[in-house]
Structure 1
Amino acid sequence: MARRPDHELTAQVRPDGYLELSSRRTGKRHRCGPRGTTMWLALQRSGWQPELAADEISLQLGVDPDSIRCDIHAWLAHFREAGE
């Protein structure tokens, strides 16, 4: 199921390749490395569909899409638990 991020969440890819997510609602900031940045961008391009994002990343990197799917779902769960 596609779920867009909270409209209060802002995202910025910094020049160093790290993604910075900021919540205006909570004031929390999260900084993600290149892996998180790649997942965020793939999710955006896929209409927030984790399965499609995993397929895109697996094609780019030549890795098993199932392992990427697990990573994406775990990454998303982390943010859901944090209230983001």
Structure 2
Amino acid sequence: MGRDHGLIASVRPDGYLELFVPLTGKRHRCGPRGTTMWLALQRCDWQTELAAEDVAVRLGVHPDSIRCDIQAWMSHFREASR
């Protein structure tokens, strides 16, 4: 379990990521793709460009196809944590 950006994150045994915002009481579950992005962002010190490269290598796709997803995903969770 980790605490990042006001979130408590845990990867469940089924591979889903659960994010909890103690301040608001909100919870969100992410599927395997979201879990992959979260872990890549952690490994890459929250740098979206590096995380996109990391995910792209793991999935065997071009980083451009991941970059927008990661940026949108981060934006969504920034809003959710307010």
TM-score, normalisation: structure 2: 0.90
Deviation at 1:64, TM superposition (A): 1.1
Q: Pick from 16, 19, 25 the counterpart of residue 18 of structure 1.
A: 16
Question: Does 2:66 align with 1:61?
Answer: no
Gaps of 5+ in 2: none
Larger relative strand fraction: 2
Deviation at 1:43, TM superposition (A): 0.3
Q: Pick from 45, 54, 59 the counterpart of residue 47 of structure 1.
A: 45
Gaps of 5+ in 1: none
Q: RMSD of the TM alignment (CA)? A: 1.1
Return the structure number with greater relative CO, CA threshold 8 A, min gap 6.
1
TM-score, normalisation: structure 1: 0.88
How many pairs were matched up? Answer: 79
Instruction: Give the letter for the 1:76 counterpart.
Output: M
Deviation at 1:47, TM superposition (A): 0.6
